[in-house]
Structure 1
Amino acid sequence: MFTHDYVKRGVLPVIGGSCKLRRNGVHTFSLTVDGGSALWQRFDKDWRVTIHDEGERLLSGVPLKIVETAEGGVVTSELTGESDMTWLKDMITLPDPSKAANDQGGEAYWNRKGAAGVLIRDLVNANVGPSARSEYRRPLVIGDVANGPDGTINSRFKPVLDEVAVLAETAGLTVDIVQDDNLKRSVLTVVEGRDFARRVRLSHGNGGIESHSFTLEAPTVTSVLVAGQGEGSERTLKLSHGNENSWGFRSLQFQDRRDTDDQKELDAAGTDTLTEGQERASVSLTVNDTPGRMFGRDYWLGDTVTVQLSTGVNITDTVQMAEVSWDENGRTVKVQVGPTAEDEDQPRDVKEINKLWKAVRGLQTR
């Protein structure tokens, strides 16, 4: 445990607990603590927590809720909270981050183009990092940042985390903020996932798979009418089509883009809306640790692993989420591979999932 300014004050007397780690999201934790411990009595509400597992630091953050319970002369405290990534969730994108939130009349949007990792770095730095205004600045430094492919951002008053997550997912990057004890700050990192498709193989045979499911969804839009600047009949209109599908679904939607009259930006707006409303397909996999491959030690969020279903179908995808828990019986881990219910804006390739789905159904009906 650490003070709010990162001074170590000992180790929390934890009885058990759990944490949920989300790729490009806010990690959460819940810890049961010996409420009668002198160390716990020193803990203050604004102090910090770091959680380690198998020698690896999983997260750092602060408590948001403390519940103390006394029963049979035994006092326990339940400590729940969020990781430092919550700083991005708790801040909105300002068109001009150098000005106060109520003085944003000059710039309509924070608009940038370039390498996705650099855009993430600059967005975080300007809004909550070292370059942010004092009232929004967090004890954050910029660490290693992978460039990744090019991306764009055109944002105004949206949660910083939402914009960061979209940029990172599209570029195949993983973003996190974790405390550095020596720097007495938390560090933003943007990394590329490692390809462990051959090295990490999980199956029913080695105990690595707990469950799997397939989901197929029709698209929500097939045509978009984008309206640019102007009034009434003078407005610039751009019609975009896409999302051909086998569901027999058709839908025309309207998108208001009064902020621009640039044809490329209007085209991009229509394309983005079609992409967001495309046909969705996902494979949900829950996997466990195996004796030879442990989450945290051997692979991490954003890494690519291979899962072999009992039907013989192999799925190679990204680690998106992990739940780690500790109690008197030891340690348990559940890992989510591929898009999750919390990650519906990033669907897998529909043709790929349809192929897998048909393969599984064919094997199951033999």
Structure 2
Amino acid sequence: MVSRFNAVGAWTMEIHTNTAAARELVKPRAGIIVKRDGITVFSGPVTQRKRKWDISTDQLTLSGLDDNVWLSRYLALPVTSGPPYTTADYDVKTGPVETVMKAYVTANMGSGAKADRQLNITIEPDRARGTTVTGRARFCTLLDLFSTLALAGGDIGFRIVQAGNGLQFFVYQPADKTASAVFSPALGNLLSFEYSDADPDANYIIVGGNGDGTARTFVESGDPGSIAAYGRIEEFLDNRNTSNVSELNQAIIAELAQKAQKTSLTITPVDTESIAFGQDYSLGDRVSVILTQQNEAGGQDVLDTIQDVVREVRFKITTDGEVITPFIGTPDTLSHPIMGIFRKMKQLNNRVSNIERR
């Protein structure tokens, strides 16, 4: 089971076919709810069923996604009462990022949506968290829209989980736990780690807005710290759906975050009385990991201290117990190298899709 910060999680379960749980989970629209210490940490639908039978075994393998998948199944329409979609080019909303995201959920899958698009979903009360952003929706998925808005709005978190007989969308502000959630071999709460880093893909962005030729609007900016460390790495970003300078600067902020230096750290922690997942740190929080190396005298030298966001948490639950593996890194890093290929394909697809939706 994998929970991902501001992305769609996934799960797999193996059970005997001849069980009450199996008979329920093969039904249409079935799903799972996982609770830890009485709190729902994961919920989502079954999307695939596979049965394996031989003379000694009858096993059912079920797999699915978490409920964030609904954000990838619904489009953010330019006119939420449409069709037709001729009264506005975009559905534009400006405000604190939490307020903007919740407004899009309400309009596209909640109580404000057309009857045939309404999902059984509630939205927690708005607390107007995050910085001010502008959303510009035109047939993109809610997930793609929110991923960009969340980065521009301060890397704020969003999730959909099961609540009673329906779903609930909520936004949360990840906490800075770098001073209290500290992992290190020297502290005895870290069994293993795997660390990698990569240079940025870009650190200076020129974004092009509306217009053609000399009449086109351009805004540019960069990350001075990254430029000093790695040299100038330029990129052009096509954002011709607006000429609003604030929105173009917002696009630069999100693009710089996605193209920044990539650090990824997978750890195997040991829950202790002072630091335990779900109690002292959670998905989206910033934590510290002290990387050490044994010296010639038998002691430990500190090589580096990584402070970043818990982007992913893997849970493995068996009859022997539970293993939790957090993945810590910068935005757009992934725990499996092959997923980087799909990330680049998705970026290309998004660029083509932006043109198609105009």
Could you tell me which residue of structure 2 aligns to residue 137 of structure 1? Answer: 118
The answer on whether the counterparts of 2:96 and 2:131 sit within 8 Å (CA) in structure 1 is yes
Q: 1:150 aligned to 127, 132, 154, which one? A: 132
Which secondary structure state, in structure 1, belongs to the residue aligned with residue 123 of structure 2? strand
Could you tell me which residue of structure 2 aligns to residue 36 of structure 1? Answer: 18
Could you tell me which residue of structure 2 aligns to residue 341 of structure 1? Answer: 333
Q: 1:176 aligned to 159, 168, 174, which one? A: 159
Q: Deviation at 1:156?
A: 1.4
Q: 1:48 aligned to 28, 31, 34, which one? A: 31
What is the TM-score of this pair, normalised by structure 1? Answer: 0.76
1:227, 1:274 → 2: CA distance?
15
Structure whose CA Rg is larger? 1
2:66, 2:91 → 1: CA distance?
26
Could you tell me which residue of structure 2 aligns to residue 78 of structure 1? Answer: 61
Q: 1:195 aligned to 165, 176, 180, which one? A: 176
Deviates more, 1:41-50 or 1:217-226: 217-226
The answer on whether the counterparts of 1:216 and 1:280 sit within 8 Å (CA) in structure 2 is no
Name the amino acid aligned to 2:66.
S
The answer on whether the counterparts of 2:199 and 2:261 sit within 8 Å (CA) in structure 1 is yes
Could you tell me which residue of structure 1 aligns to residue 6 of structure 2? Answer: 24
The reply on whether 1:165 has 2:157 as its aligned counterpart is no
The answer on whether the counterparts of 2:209 and 2:242 sit within 8 Å (CA) in structure 1 is no
The reply on whether 1:289 has 2:269 as its aligned counterpart is yes
The answer on whether the counterparts of 2:220 and 2:252 sit within 8 Å (CA) in structure 1 is no
Written as runs of structure 1 = structure 2, the 5 A alignment for 1:263-342 is 264=245, 268-269=247-248, 272-273=251-252, 276=255, 280-292=260-272, 293-310=275-292, 311-312=301-302, 313-339=304-330, 341-342=333-334
The reply on whether 1:240 has 2:220 as its aligned counterpart is yes
Deviates more, 1:137-146 or 1:246-255: 246-255
Which secondary structure state, in structure 1, belongs to the residue aligned with residue 99 of structure 2? helix
In structure 2, do the counterparts of structure 1 residues 196 and 219 end up closer, same or farther at CA, with 3 Å as the change threshold? closer
What is the TM-score of this pair, normalised by structure 2? Answer: 0.78
Could you tell me which residue of structure 1 aligns to residue 76 of structure 2? Answer: 93
Unaligned runs of 5+ in 2: 293-300, 341-358
Which secondary structure state, in structure 1, belongs to the residue aligned with residue 23 of structure 2? helix
More helix by share: 2
Name the amino acid aligned to 1:314.
T
In structure 2, do the counterparts of structure 1 residues 169 and 249 end up closer, same or farther at CA, with 3 Å as the change threshold? closer
Q: Deviation at 1:94?
A: 0.6
In structure 2, do the counterparts of structure 1 residues 98 and 335 end up closer, same or farther at CA, with 3 Å as the change threshold? same
Which secondary structure state, in structure 2, belongs to the residue aligned with residue 88 of structure 1? helix
Q: Percent of aligned positions with the same letter in both sequences? A: 19
- Cα deviation 1:89-143 (Å, max 9, x = unaligned): 111211111223xx21221112121111101111111111221112222111001
Could you tell me which residue of structure 1 aligns to residue 50 of structure 2? Answer: 67
Could you tell me which residue of structure 1 aligns to residue 351 of structure 2? Answer: none
| Corresponding pairs, count | 316
Name the amino acid aligned to 1:92.
L
Deviates more, 1:217-226 or 1:310-319: 217-226
2:29, 2:268 → 1: CA distance?
34
The answer on whether the counterparts of 1:219 and 1:249 sit within 8 Å (CA) in structure 2 is no
1:198, 1:248 → 2: CA distance?
31
In structure 2, do the counterparts of structure 1 residues 129 and 31 end up closer, same or farther at CA, with 3 Å as the change threshold? same
Name the amino acid aligned to 1:94.
L
The answer on whether the counterparts of 1:227 and 1:236 sit within 8 Å (CA) in structure 2 is yes
In structure 2, do the counterparts of structure 1 residues 251 and 176 end up closer, same or farther at CA, with 3 Å as the change threshold? closer
In structure 2, do the counterparts of structure 1 residues 260 and 56 end up closer, same or farther at CA, with 3 Å as the change threshold? closer
Q: 1:115 aligned to 67, 79, 96, which one? A: 96
Unaligned runs of 5+ in 1: 1-18, 345-366
